[in-house]
Amino acid sequence: MEAQAGVRYWHFNMIFDLVRPTTGYVQRYSGSNNWIDPIVGLKIVPRLTDTLSLVFKADIGGFDIGSRLTSRDRAGLNYTPFRHFVVEGGYEYSYVDYEKGGSIYDITLNGPYFGIGFFF
């Protein structure tokens, strides 16, 4: 089990076109925003065998410093066929609630993830 603390950098860039059906007139809107959230979290990696382990990660942050609230939760399976190599896959859920300076983001992202890592 590991306790974790750090920061998460967010960058949003949006461009969209509004087309008026009666005239065909296109009006483009765009904007971007950046901020940093402090986060705290927990990571648990129970071993199943010498090469397989489960992975559970959860963090929460924002605390009205950057966003109001952000969270990221992940559950997966690690396969470590040799000492400095890992393959990980599972499911992740991320959430951000941000409202400052006229920008509002209330976003939920979730789905499968897959990664390969080398470590020393």
Which DSSP string corresponds to the chain?
-EEEEEEEEEEEEEEEEEE-TTT--EEEEEEEEEEEEEEEEEEE--BSSSSEEEEEEEEEEETTTSSSEEEEEEEEEEEEEETTEEEEEEEEEEEEEEEETTEEEEEEEEEEEEEEEE--
Looking at residue 43, what is its pLDDT? 97
Is residue 84 predicted with pLDDT exceeding 90?
A: yes
Model pTM above 0.85: no
Give the residue extent of every domain in the chain. 2-118
- CB-based contact 38:66 (threshold 8 Å): yes
